[in-house]
Amino acid sequence: MRLANKVALITGASSGIGRESALLFAKEGAKIVAVDINVADGEETVKMIADSGGQATFVKADVSRAEDCEAMIAAAEDRYGALHVLFNNAGIMHSQDDNAETTEEDVWDLTMAINVKGVFFGCKYGIGALRRAGGGSIINTASFVSLLGAATPQIAYTASKGAVLSMTRELATIHARENIRVNALCPGPLRTELLMKFLNTEEKKQRRLVHIPMGRFGEAAEMAQSALFLASDEASYITGSTFSVDGGITAAYVTPE
């Protein structure tokens, strides 16, 4: 198994990429710390893992709060003795996120608090745990919109994911000699509840689909497979990468420097 004897903490584990990754990582041998603010669905993820013969524990945390992130890392070490994989995946895409003129300040602030501070706090408290374990892998969920502009306005989300990508590169550079790898998973448009609530009309959906060479939305399970690779020792020489899993959208629209 690709994550045998590893402990993996995954934020946003109640649904979407987080839940699919928790299930897959557990199947590959990892002990899972499933973190979310949604208690019922987070505990359901843990139950699904247990029913499949895996090991998992749920921790309630609001990743925009430093004390919650400190506590989730402590819970991983207390319960399983170490932490080897930190998947900072939790994020929001606010329904009122729009262009710069119409997006309200509270929407901007909430998006930044969860999407950017959540990653920062995860790393702030998680890096020490990975160091104590002898090294490990950090995966931060960015987005294809960190590399190109979104056709449907979402200024706060796009800016937040650009920050995640930049943060990932710096963290990778700083901690490379400590056997701590840090990579950004950049999903393309996915058929998840998060995006489908935002693309809530057929017109909005088509504005996204027309740009995707593969002609379809991605699936959360496909992102989990990519995260598994980055978490595993198979990716031992990969750090600071922009790992795009996007149906070809950035290949079609991003010009290499």
Instruction: Supply the pLDDT for residue 255.
Output: 63
Q: How many CB atoms lie within 10 A of CB 162?
A: 16
Q: Please give the torsion angle defined by the CA atoms of residues 207, 212, 214 and 218, in that order, rounded to the nearest 10 degrees.
A: -80
The dihedral through the CA atoms of 214, 215, 216, 218 has a sign that is positive
> Nearest CA to 74 among 28, 124, 37?
124
**Per-residue 3-state assignment (H helix, E strand, C coil) for the chain:** CCCCCCEEEEECCCCHHHHHHHHHHHHCCCEEEEEECCHHHHHHHHHHHHHCCCCEEEEECCCCCHHHHHHHHHHHHHHHCCCCEEEECCCCCCCCCCCCCCCCHHHHHHHHHHHHHHHHHHHHHHHHHHHHCCCEEEEEECCHHHCCCCCCCCHHHHHHHHHHHHHHHHHHHHHHHHCEEEEEEEECCECCHHHHHHCCCHHHHHHHHCCCCCCCCECHHHHHHHHHHHHCHHHCCCCCCEEEECCCHHHHHCCCC
Instruction: Supply the pLDDT for residue 253.
Output: 81
Q: Kindly give the pairing relationship between strand 242-245 and strand 56-60.
A: unpaired
Instruction: Supply the pLDDT for residue 257.
Output: 57
| pTM of the predicted model over 0.75 | yes
| Lookup: tokens for 77 | 């070490």
> Nearest CA to 73 among 8, 157, 23?
8
Instruction: Supply the pLDDT for residue 228.
Output: 98
Whether the CB-CB separation of 114 and 157 falls below 8 Å is answered with: no
Encode the chain (257 residues) as per-residue pLDDT tens digits. Answer: 999 999 999 999 999 999 999 999 999 999 999 999 999 999 999 999 999 999 999 999 999 999 999 999 999 999 999 999 999 999 999 989 999 999 999 999 999 999 999 999 999 999 999 999 999 999 999 999 999 888 788 999 999 999 999 999 999 999 999 999 999 999 998 887 777 777 778 887 887 788 889 988 999 999 999 999 999 999 999 999 999 999 999 998 866 65
Structural domain boundaries in the chain: 7-245
What is d(CA 110, CA 113) in angstroms, rounded to the nearest whole number? Answer: 5
Tell me, which fold does domain 7-245 have in CATH? Rossmann fold (3.40.50)
Whether the CB-CB separation of 139 and 89 falls below 8 Å is answered with: yes
Task: Provide the annotated active-site residues.
Answer: 157
Sheet holding 31-36, edge to edge: 56-60, 31-36, 7-11, 85-88, 136-141, 180-187, 242-245
Whether the CB-CB separation of 131 and 85 falls below 8 Å is answered with: no
